[in-house]
Each structure stands twice: as structure tokens, then as C-alpha cells.
Structure 1
Amino acid sequence: MSGFLQPAEETPEARRLFDEDLAELGYVMNVTKLWAHQPDTMTGLFGLLRQCVEAGGLDLRTRGILVTACASALGDSYCSLAWGGKLAEAADARTASGVLRGDDDGLTPEERALADWARKVARDPNAIGQADVRALREAGFDDGRIFAITVFVALRIAFSTVNDALGARPDAALRTTAPQSVRDAVTFGRPIED
């Protein structure tokens, strides 16, 4: 069982998702088991995310900042742990745990602007105004990149919302793959599975 749903039927499309996880991680993630109910939807969502990554010029560190800031603002433990670990690899554990706690001291001014933007989009997009967009422009982002970054964050919110609403718990492997400081910073959301 993955979250609150019964296991999905193992179709060829679902098997492909499982095989990708096994090849990359050595296990099948709980979110993959959940999205196996509609593998084409997951493939489509991640295709859209890849388009945003390319249009926004988002490297792994930048994606890590956007996802950890967004996920922690939402209270999503799964993506916070998974991407906090990725950000720790791309930067360091102190920076990753800081972003998860809302402390952006380890970031450049441009990265701080992105973390702040991701939190605003996640928490209250209707409260965003021209001054917030101007802050991104002043940090060096043109309107095309701002759009791509915003869509990236919004799609991550959609992914997290589905996972959280349907009870996906962070994978047990995150107990050892996410640094201790990252695990300590994630005091919200669902607990890591047993």
C-alpha cells in the first residue's frame, strides 16, 4: 500500500517508472507507487517540469533551493527530505537545513531572491505584488525566467499536494540518505516510513 490508496495495477507504464527508480535509487519510491495509478500523468508532469528547468536555466543547486523552500513552506516533509538531501550534495548540509528552516544565510543574493519567491508562491500567491517581481528582476532574472521559475514552483506544489493528500510518507531510505541536519530541520509533515 502506498499512502491511502491500494497498490496500482502493474501496467507496462507503471513497471517503467518502477524500473527507473530501481536503476537510479535501488528501490521504488513511495511517490512512484502512488503515481503508478496514472503513470502518464506523472510522465507529463515531469516533462513540463523539464521544460521549466530548461527555460529557467535551473541547475541542480537552484532546483534544490526552489524545491526545499517551496516544500518546507507547504509543510511537505517528503520533498523537503528528498530535495534537502539533493541540495546538501549540491551545496552543503548546513545550507540545505538553513533553507528548510527559512534561514538563507548560505545563499547568494540571487539564490535568496529565489528562495523568498518560492515561499511566497507556496504560501500566498495572491499576496504577491509588483515589488516582489521587481525584487527578482533586480536579482538578475528577466521576465521569461521569472515565468519559468514560477511555473516550476507551481508544478512542484501540485506534485506535493497530490502526494500529501493521498498519504505518501517519506521513504525509509531517507533516514540514511538525507543528512542529519536536514532530517532535524524537517519537523513538519508526515513522518518517514518505518
Structure 2
Amino acid sequence: MDIWKSLFCVMSTMIIIGAVMSGCNSEEADIPFKESEQDKVMDQVPPKDKLYKEGDTVQIQGMEITINKATYTPPDDYYTNPEKGNILTLDVTVKKTTDMDLSLFLYDFTLKDYQGNEYSNYTGYTDLGMAKSHMKKNKEYKGKMYFDVTGYDSFELTYKGYFGGKVKFNIVPVEYWEEDL
């Protein structure tokens, strides 16, 4: 008889545990899925094949980027001349649109001519150019980027976002502007 009592206790316990466990799943299904801030930011990627122009504001992964103007500028009298012959100066505005901690550095940008030649940053000015760490949300940052280039009519500037997204700008520089001299 003791075997039947033990078996009855074990079976009763299993039935009670099964009933309790089956009730736990019904509440969990009612909780809606919440997308994280990082997921939202990662999804902010412009179309891959679109080529933006100066003046366009592009939103990409928590940043708004605008290339305001592209000009050739003369070298500073106190520093070295550019190795390639010209200094391409890009006037840039950037705004962070997320609460996430994002930064902007010159190496996030790549400049190429349409024959595939890549150009490096020009570091001969006393102004170090556009580089921002610990940006504040919804604050606009204005600055310049400098590249040592040959004298082509147009270039392609690529920004690679923090989460891997890319945006490309068609850059058509103008000759020296009076305010830049």
C-alpha cells in the first residue's frame, strides 16, 4: 500500500506543478515587444545607392550630417604646402539625434575621386577640423574638414556610421572664395 500512496503523491505533485507552469506562459505572451534605442538607431540607414549633394541633410544612425560647402583653400603661411597640390575644405554641420553616446571623427569619412584615388586629411592648418566626442543630443556642431587633393572637378565623400551604415555625398568644389582667403 505504501507504494500506491507514494505514487499518488508523486503524480499529484506533478499535476499541480504542470498546472502552475502552464499558467505562467499566458501572461508573458501579453507583453509587447519593445525595440531598444540602439535598434532604432541602427535601422536609420539611407538607401545604399543614393548619392547626396552639398546642402542635403542626411539622417544616418543617430546623426544628421550636412555638407554645406566645398571649396579649394590656400595653405596657411606657417605650415606645409599640400603634397597633392590643393586643399579641399568642407564646411560641415552635424547634429546628434539620439540619447546614445556617439562621437564623430575624421576617420569616419573617406574621400575619393571618381577614378578611385583615396585622399588623406590635410593637417597643415592650425584649426584641427571637425572632430567631436561626447556630443549632446539635438545640439548642432559646425566645423571644417580638410583634405590634401589633386585638382579634380568632383569627389565622393563617404561617411561610415558607428553601426556600419554608409552615406555618400557628391562633392563639387568651387575655386577660392573671398571669405576663405
Greater helix percent: which structure?
Answer: 1
Q: TM-score, normalised by structure 1?
A: 0.24
Q: Which has the higher contact order (CA 8 A, sep 6+)?
A: 1
